[in-house]
Structure 1
Amino acid sequence: MTDTVQHWRDGEIFAGGSGQTAPVTNPATGEITARVALADVADARQVIDAAAAAYPEWRDTSLAKRTQVLFKFRELLDERKPELAEIITREHGKVRSDALGEVSRGQEVVEFACGIPHLLKGGFTENASTKVDVYSVRQPLGPVAIISPFNFPAMVPMWFFPLAIAAGNTVVLKPSEKDPSASLWLAALWAEAGLPAGVFNVLQGDKTAVDELLTNPKIKSVSFVGSTPIAQYVYATGTAAGKRVQALGGAKNHAVVLPDADLDLAADAMVNAGFGSAGERCMAISACVAVGPIADDLVAKIAERTRTLKTGDGTGAVDMGPLVTEAHRDKVASYIDAGEAAGAKIVVDGRTVEADGGAAGFWLGPTLIDEVTPDMSVYTDEIFGPVLSVVRVESYDEALELVNANPFGNGTAIFTNDGGAARRFQNEVEVGMVGINVPIPVPMAYYSFGGWKNSLFGDTHAHGTEGVHFFTRAKAVTSRWLDPSHGGIELGFPQNV
């Protein structure tokens, strides 16, 4: 009998009453390892109510005490990150080193949130008018919702909840039902760090849970990461209900390789960015744009490296793990079929991979496709798998036009030794995150993450200063006082409490 992954409410496991569950599988074996509770509306409202009840006290808790809890959470996370990485590998399938890297990148936002007092400072103008002072403050919103995807069950939630909690909000996290256990591990760590019950809650479920978070009036904002069609739905539904929404959608990330580029560096980068985490990254490079006469050499170098990759169970000594579900594996494979049928050249075929793992695992090896044209579905669609397409163009201008014509604007990269070309590209390209000889330009936590066009719905990006502003709202105060009264004598050193 398998265990059931439950909700977390008021600082403890909450079973809920729906009785509905969904299977959780180990992608490397195909085995059902657990079942996850699927909330009904009543379950969702109980979890939301817990966040709403905890909000007034947490909002009024001093900033010094809130950041003390953040520091303790950071210390515990740093000590135990291998435990969390193991959970991620077991339920998502990514290799251990990648899972550990995911936790470390999420921890960067926790560390950034520890310094939030500086970003919550307001401004002050003395004597804006005679004996009238004007000042500004930033205050929390209330209970907030985070709806996170399967591909980063720890890092993506950590893009949001450290800042939300540090700013004085309470949180309801709705993780993916495909890999839900990381959320409960994080909830228990928050409790150990001293976070009061009800400040961080976990609601397991599917569309029923999502819709309640989007429409319940007690939830004041929604942060979402996922595919573009769902991001559009989340943004439209949440904003119609009067909520502040940041919905990060899909991507079709291009890497432009100019003729003067270091082709060995570029080939390494294409393999790393195209096949890391089995391509299940919103920042994965899925389209390599080879400019001019270097295409044949570049494809040969990428192919040589791709053929050395070992696919298998992420707990072992392999380079790439399985895809998250059987259905997703089959969908990704269908794009390879379609590209081949449309006339593209399959240089390395992951459909025939011999994986080091269970026979029923969700295997698809790294796949390199050459001579892809912009009308093929393997180019137009976000595949979200280990498929790297090579598109050949004749000039920089043609490459730039190709990138800018794409409806997505999440991430892009250029590989060149020409500083002028790189500077021109970063200025002219219509994409939110740009790498120069860097294939996965995910910014550090003190910058903000997010794309343009159909890769982001809402005006505010994740983490960084924009993230702090998303989870707070500004208030301006105009003040006039009579002469000050006497406050008494106190010689003790003032305390931050």
Structure 2
Amino acid sequence: MRTIGHFIDGVETTGSSTEFQDVFNPATGEVQARVALATKADLDAAVASASAAQPAWAATNPQRRARVFFNYVALLNQHMDELAELLSAEHGKTFDDAKGDVLRGLEVAEFVAGAPHLLKGAYTEGAGPGIDMYSMRQPVGIGAGITPFNFPAMIPLWMLSPAIAAGNAFILKPSERDPSVPVRLAQLAIEAGLPKGVLNVVQGGKATVDGILEHEAIAAVSFVGSTPIARYVYATAAANGKRVQAFGGAKNHMIIMPDADMEKAADALMGSGYGAAGERCMAVSVAVPVGDATADKIIAALRPRIDALKVGPATDRASEMGPLITAAAKSRVLGLVDKGVEQGATLVVDGRDFSLQGYEGGFFVGPCLFDHVTTDMDIYKEEIFGPVLSVVRAKNYEEALELPSKNPYGNGVAIFTRDGDAARDFAARVNVGMVGVNVPVPVPVAYHSFGGWKASSFGDLNQYGTDSMQFWTKVKTVTTRWPSGIKDGAEFQFPTMK
């Protein structure tokens, strides 16, 4: 059986690992590989490699660091299909969706090729009598990223690209459920010209996470996962003196106004609600039609689309939705659907008994659609992370606006309408970090930044974009005065610029 190891000091290795975890094929339910779980010695080896490599990498001028990313982008494009197939085999998402996973990460690698401009400091001549002042951005040292299973290419690239372009060394702790793609990303980075030790990958579970959060040599940590773990990571890393950003869960709403194009809105709900089997932090899990007539229209438009949805393995390129990641994920989703029925929601489409011939052991759940969901139900309050769409009917626009605004999560939200005034008002007033107007999954492009509000995000700087360069660097400000500008005698008052 294939064993997936760590990537330390430029080579793949199982290190001193004595524990291993099964990696499943989600479409069949069969074990296809095992992944080594790091010991403390493995993490220490990765940190030692990063510590040895980082000073020389930081001393490399930003333009030369950027050239590595030009090479890296070319290699990611060249190996796109290979990465997508590897990703699909362990995650279960369709091949085209897997390519999108890689591409959205690649875009951030493209963006950081502009790091020389983004890392420029500021200069003031004559800030005081004979005094000049300038600031510079310097790397924090060693950064770490703890990434989730649902985007094993995109989110690692979101983290490692700006961190490394800024002059840091980086340690990636990916999900142990689909660990192969992160190792391949590291191998391609070395091929692109990245010195060994600048990027290390350490597999593992909670013990490895805790080791990262507590390691005195690691200066900054970025995390994406569930909200309870994000709170833990943020508190623990901060208590250990680290800079930290931690992104949590979501409950994304899509408001459907009476004037919306119902066919386009239904298409948007299908892709955003059932794409990747709902295992996206930006998935729309709550549809909010304004008025009963709008609700009836959108459900009528959804029914035939759900019936026609092709659910299957990633090896079938015609598949539109694949399985969930594990048996435990499937069990949890089915339990929440059961709970929704018990609590009085109307299950319009029931995907609980879905079975695919030849893949009976796979972790498939068919698409589910609930109507008449209320805010006190578990299917509304919890992030389901499965192919379950809930319809919460709103009496009017203000009630629809209030739902995402008062929800504890604040990752993404969308409104579908033809009314520019309504869209503008909604974008200005809704209490959510990322807003789509006739865009169901409003993930910003690489030169903006990604980040939610409320319980979806902990920390004050977002991922990628200019925020990432601020997060992975620290500012040093230098005040200079040369002898001709220095008065004779000591000055005992607090310095001013008079």
Q: Give me the TM-score of the superposition, normalised by structure 1.
A: 0.96
In terms of mean alpha carbon deviation, does 229-238 or 7-16 score higher? 7-16
Taking the aligned partners of 2:112 and 2:366, their CA distance within structure 1 comes to: 38
| Counterpart amino acid of residue 314 in structure 1 | A
Name the counterpart of 1:425: 426
Distance 1:120 1:47 in 2: 26
Q: Where in structure 2 are the equivalents of 1:207-218 lying within 5 Å?
A: 207-218=206-217
Q: Does 1:379 align with 2:380?
A: yes
Aligned partner of residue 117 in structure 2, secondary structure: helix
Q: Distance in 2 between the 1:414 and 1:116 partners? A: 34
How far apart are residue 131 of structure 1 and its match?
A: 3.0
CA–CA distance in structure 1, aligned partners of residues 483 and 354 of structure 2: 80
The residue aligned with 2:260 is: 261
Q: Which residue of 1 aligns with 2:489?
A: none
Return the alpha-carbon distance in structure 2 between the equivalents of residues 15 and 35 of structure 1. Answer: 11
State whether residues 28 and 357 of structure 1, in contact with CA within 8 Å, keep that contact through their aligned partners in structure 2.
no
- Structure 1 residue identity aligned to 2:359: G
Q: Does structure 2 conserve the Cα–Cα contact (< 8 Å) formed by 1:311 and 1:354?
A: no
Matched AA of 2:220: S
Other-structure match for 2:319: 318
Does residue 127 of structure 1 match 2:157? no
The one-letter amino acid paired with 1:44 is: L
Asked if structure 2 preserves the Cα contact closer than 8 Å seen for 1:311 and 1:356, the reply is no
Secondary structure in 2 matching 1:312: coil
1:418-437, CA deviations, whole angstroms, 9 ceiling, x for partnerless residues? 10000110111000000000
The aligned amino acid for 1:409 is G
**RMSD, aligned CA:** 1.0
Q: Compute the displacement of 1:294 (Å).
A: 1.0
Match of 1:487 in 2: none
Tell me which residue corresponds to 1:39: 38
1:58 corresponds to which residue? 57
Structure 2 Cα separation of the partners of residues 374 and 227 of structure 1: 20
Specify the code of the residue in structure 2 equivalent to 1:433. M
SS of the counterpart of 1:283? Answer: coil
CA deviation after TM superposition for structure 1 residue 176, in Å = 0.1
Following the alignment from structure 1 to structure 2, what is the Cα–Cα distance between the partners of residues 311 and 353? 9
Which amino acid in 2 is paired with 1:294? T
Farther off after superposition, 356-365 or 186-195? 356-365
What is the distance in 2 between the residues matched to 1:233 and 1:22? 23
Q: Which amino acid aligns with 1:373?
A: T
Equivalent position SS for 1:163 = helix
Q: Which residue of 2 aligns with 1:303?
A: 303
Q: How does 1:152-171 map to 2 (within 5 A)?
A: 152-171=151-170
> Could you tell me which residue of structure 1 aligns to residue 472 of structure 2?
471
Residue correspondence of structure 1 range 24-423 to structure 2 within 5 A: 24-292=23-291, 293-316=293-316, 317-355=318-356, 358-423=359-424
State the AA in 2 paired with 1:205.
Answer: G
Secondary structure of 1:360's counterpart equals: coil
**1:163 touches 1:468 (CA, 8 Å); kept in 2?**
yes
Q: Which amino acid aligns with 1:308?
A: A
| Partner Cα separation in structure 2 for residue 67 and residue 430 of structure 1 | 37
C-alpha distance in structure 1 between counterparts of 2:402 and 2:194, whole Å: 50
Q: 1:486 — aligned with what? A: none
- The residue type equivalent to 1:36 in the other structure is V
- Asked if the contact 1:433/1:451 (under 8 Å) is kept, the reply is yes
Query: Take 1:435 and 1:248, find their aligned partners in 2: how far apart are those partners?
Result: 19
CA–CA separation in structure 1 for the residues paired with 2:116 and 2:456: 31
**39-48 or 134-143, larger mean C-alpha shift:** 39-48
Paired residue type of 2:69:
L
- Are the equivalent residues in 2 in contact too, given 1:332–1:384 (CA < 8 A)? yes
Following superposition, the deviation at residue 128 of structure 1 comes to: 1.8
Secondary structure at the counterpart of residue 200 of structure 2: strand
Any idea what SS the aligned residue of 1:350 has?
Answer: coil
- Which ranges of 4 or more aligned residues in structure 1 deviate by more than 6 Å? none
Between the aligned partners of 1:356 and 1:230, the Cα distance in structure 2 is 37
Report the alpha carbon displacement of residue 482 of structure 1 after superposing the two structures with TM: 6.0
Give secondary structure in 1 for the equivalent of 2:392: strand
Q: 3-state SS of the aligned residue for 1:287? A: strand
Measure, in 1, the Cα distance between the counterparts of 2:302 and 2:141: 49
What residue is the counterpart of 1:13 in the other structure? 12
* Alignment partners' CA distance in 1, 2:134 and 2:385: 47
Cα deviation, residue 63, structure 1:
1.2
- For 2:134, what is the secondary structure of its paired residue? strand
Report the counterpart of residue 457 of structure 1 in structure 2.
Answer: 458
Answer with 151-160 or 342-351: which moved more: 342-351
3-state SS of paired residue (2:109): helix
SS in 1 for 2:57: helix
Where 1:473 maps in the other structure, the secondary structure is strand
- Give the whole-Å Cα distance in 2 for the aligned partners of 1:304 and 1:442: 28
Residues of 1 paired with 2:105 and 2:17: CA distance?
32
CA contact (8 A) 1:312 1:356 kept: no
How many Å separate the matches in 2 of 1:14 and 1:208? 19
Q: Which deviates more, 198-207 or 346-355? A: 346-355
Q: Whole-Å Cα distance in 1 between the matches of residues 412 and 359 of structure 2?
A: 34
Q: C-alpha separation between the residues in 1 aligned to 2:212 and 2:259?
A: 51
Q: Contact 1:310/1:355 (CA < 8 Å) preserved in 2?
A: no
Q: CA deviation at 1:18?
A: 2.8
- The aligned amino acid for 1:244 is R
The separation in 2 between residues aligned to 1:13 and 1:418, in whole angstroms, is 55
Alpha-carbon distance in structure 2 between the residues aligned to 1:207 and 1:4: 20
Distance 2:454 2:53 in 1: 37
Separation in 1 of the partners of 2:17 and 2:10? 20
Instruction: Provide the C-alpha distance between the structure 1 equivalents of 2:358 and 2:439, rounded to a whole number of angstroms.
Output: 32
* Aligned-partner Cα distance in 2 for 1:228–1:103: 24
Equivalent pairs, count: 482
- Measured in 1, the distance between the counterparts of 2:384 and 2:392 equals 16
Q: Cα deviation per residue 1:102-157 (whole Å; 9 max; x = unaligned)? A: 11111110000001111111111112223321111111001110000000000011
Shift of 1:306: 1.1
Structure 1 residues 392, 79: closer, same or farther in 2, change over 3 A?
same
Give the Cα–Cα distance (whole angstroms) in 2 for the partners of residues 183 and 422 of structure 1: 39
CA distance in 1, matches of 2:410, 2:356: 34
Residue 480 of structure 1 deviates from its aligned partner by: 2.6
Paired residues of 1:313 and 1:356 also in contact (CA < 8 A): no
Taking every aligned residue pair, what percent have the same amino acid on both sides?
54
